[in-house]
Amino acid sequence: MTSKITVITTANRARRFVPTDESSLETIIDSLRRGGHLFSGKPLIIGAGAQTEVFAAAAIACIEIETARDLEEHLPSQHNLSLTALTPEQRAEPFVGGLDGDHFSVRIEFFFTGGHALYMAAAGVRKPALAERLMNLTGLFERPALHYRLAQGGIGLMNPRAMTRFLINPGVPDLPSDAWLAEAL
């Protein structure tokens, strides 16, 4: 499998690239270790002999790297939250999630400035303290980056600062005291 890189902007445009060789892929993978800094202000520069493209960090919604290699070890911890992108076929399948003892499984739809959307299966260990659970719920917008596994192999990084909202199914049982209680129409 040839590795591919896709940069999705907040204008909902996807730009695709292929690493020039194996050593350039190693440099890209090495930059994942500081994945939290990818969206912190410094522009992302991708180039080779034919052209150079520069992306404003704030205008990047997601970066995806398709590869057969396991890149999980190069990513920062997400504190017991595992996200996996869903294929259109998986999204169409009926889903029953929720709590099972200390574990949870949900589907989360992430929406970004410009209209890009990501559909994820999420699983993890439920935090014992209510305050920690509420922080996990609201703290996603405050993280420097969120990573996820691609269905076709590889990983993606999303920019929480480019997110406009996310939708969790089934609903979260423990809501903050100031949450508005209402059903969607």
Q: pLDDT tens digits, residue range 73-123?
A: 777 666 678 899 999 999 999 988 887 878 889 999 999 999 999 999 999
- How confident is the model over 54-80, as pLDDT tens digits? 999 999 999 999 988 877 777 766 667
Structure tokens at 5: 């890189």
- Cα separation of 154 and 145, whole Å? 16
- Checking phi first, is residue 140 left (phi over 0); if not, alpha (psi -120 to 50) or beta? alpha
Residue 173 contacts residue 106 (beta carbons within 8 Å): no
Higher pLDDT, residue 106 or 172: 106
Of 7, 3, 1, 50, nearest to 27 by C-alpha is 3
Residue 9: what pLDDT? 96
- Cα separation of 120 and 91, whole Å? 9
Residue 124: what pLDDT? 85
Residue 19: what pLDDT? 87
- Cα separation of 61 and 185, whole Å? 28
Structure tokens at 88: 């259109």
Give the lowest-confidence range in 5-19, 61-75, 131-145, 165-179.
131-145
Total Cβ atoms within 10 A of residue 8: 23
